[in-house]
Amino acid sequence: MPQTRPNPLHLAAAALAGMLGAAMPAAAQPSPDAIVDAFEAALGPIRTHRPSHPKGVCAAGHFTATPEGTRLSVAPVFSGQRNTALIRFGVAGANPNASDSARGTRGLSIRFESPSGDLFEMANISAPVFGANTPQALVDGLLSRANDPATGRPNPERAAAYAAYVAANPSVGNQGRYLAANNPPASFATTPYWGVNTFLFRGQDGQQRPARWVFEPRAGVERLTAEQMQSMGPNFLADELRRRVATGPVEFDMVLQFPGQGDDLLNPTVAWPDDRPRTVVGRLTVTSVEAGPGGPCDPISFMILDQAPGIEMSDDPVLQARAAAYAVSLSRRTP
């Protein structure tokens, strides 16, 4: 019988998962497979779409660093030359038919490609904090909502244990409190998107600086009213973005924020105070949007998270676990 040749995407993803999963001691974090298994237990099998923000629209554009960005990072993406950008806007949840009016995060994922072919990718959300402070907390939170195969219902002991963890670590609830206090975006183009994790930027002076970033909409922040949340319907965001881009580009300023004394660099559930130093390091411009769902964004997991030495991952355990879990997820949904 003829042998089936392995998909090279599967091989590359598996290799990356192995390398990155070994970057931290096994006791420090669950394995990449365990993280994806937890998503599948809570949200269903990952076979046709990504487990988080599966509903989305693909767009394209470009990114150019400001002189400050070039000063603060020697990475190719910050050279000052125009980088092409493949951009995906997404809606939170595991349902590819999720409502655009629902509370929850919106996503902005970007693949930058420099003129010399260097790639850099990132995934950002429309909340200033993440919903888990460690990979294990992420897994435990997902499993606390998963149905027990034996009963078909969530395991009360598991749910109680996670509730006790949240009570002892109140910052884990910061994202939920932010989303409860802020109505959903009226447009993909009118919400900030935060990176939430700390990265290390090496500047032209050789100094390495920890920083977090946010993409701030140049159109300003606009949220749905309570009435619009009831009347807008489940599928307005993609079409609204297409209409907006048809009349002119959508733009975001990339802003770096730098920590102050005592700020936690490694906990993405805690935002740094607003009075910390900030500087604009680049401009993202969206120039076109796919006419329908799918497109070149679909097979991309946005897991090339650094351009060392100009941009490197910090020791934030959630960040360290991200790329390997993305690789496993990609391998499971790629034929």
Q: Which residues are catalytic?
A: 53
CB 252 within 8 A of CB 284: yes
SS3 state at 17:
helix
The CA distances from residue 229 to 128, 176, 240, in Å, are 22, 18, 15
Neighbour-count burial of 275, counting CB atoms closer than 10 A to its CB (0-12 exposed, 13-18 middle, 19+ buried): exposed
CB 98 within 8 A of CB 283: no
Tracing tokens 């990114």 back to the chain, one arrives at 63
Q: What whole-number distance in Å separates Cα of residue 193 and Cα of residue 87?
A: 13
- Per DSSP (E only), the strands in 234-327 are 250-257, 278-289, 311-313
Length of the chain: 335
The CA distances from residue 10 to 7, 30, 296, 299, 326, in Å, are 5, 21, 18, 12, 12
* H/E run at residue 202: strand 199-202
Q: What whole-number distance in Å separates Cα of residue 250 and Cα of residue 77?
A: 20
SS3 state at 316:
coil
Token pair recorded at residue 211: 């920083």
Q: What whole-number distance in Å separates Cα of residue 33 and Cα of residue 257?
A: 33
Among residues 296, 91, 304, 75, the alpha carbon closest in space to that of 179 is found at: 91
Residue type, 224: L
Q: What whole-number distance in Å separates Cα of residue 131 and Cα of residue 139?
A: 11
